[in-house]
Amino acid sequence: MASMRYIVRDVDAAIAFYTGPLGFALKQQYGPAMAILERGDLTLWLAGPPASASKPMPDGRTPAPGGWNRTVLEVTGLDDLVARLRAAGVAFRNEILAGPGGRQILCDDPSGNCVELFEAG
């Protein structure tokens, strides 16, 4: 099992994104500060602005969402999933790419965190 933490701008918006077509289940929510979601063996911690994980570091840097590190979700029916997400207004960083192990595409959650959707093949 693996756990990951994403810094998010809005915990409720992130919950809706991950529990919709991406198939996560909400395990616990601590108001606007934090939520814990699960999908298979992956546990995703969503830390909102009030969370301790979002507080400034001693050197003044503030954790922020976004970047290129990402969660990789293995999916089936990639084309259909992408169509559903696009219809729901999800932003994509690229188009579906084929590589030696399968196909992938990158989308952003509501806070700009990158999620890779990967279909083996």
**Over the stretch 32-73, which tens digit does the pLDDT of each residue have?**
999 999 999 999 999 999 999 999 999 999 999 999 999 999
**Over the stretch 2-14, which tens digit does the pLDDT of each residue have?**
799 999 999 999 9
Q: Of 41, 40, 48, give the one whose Cα is nearest residue 5.
A: 48
Predicted confidence at residue 100, as pLDDT, reads 85
The number of folded domains in the chain is: 1
CATH number of the domain at 78, please.
3.10.180.10
* Residue 52 DSSP label: G
Predicted confidence at residue 96, as pLDDT, reads 97
Rounded CA separation 68/36 (Å): 22
Question: Both tokens of residue 56?
Answer: 């400034």
The mean pLDDT of 90-106, rounded to a whole number, is 95
Predicted confidence at residue 1, as pLDDT, reads 62
Question: Both tokens of residue 49?
Answer: 């602005």
The mean pLDDT of 79-96, rounded to a whole number, is 97
| Residue-range definition of the domain harbouring residue 22 | 2-120
Chain mean pLDDT for the chain = 95
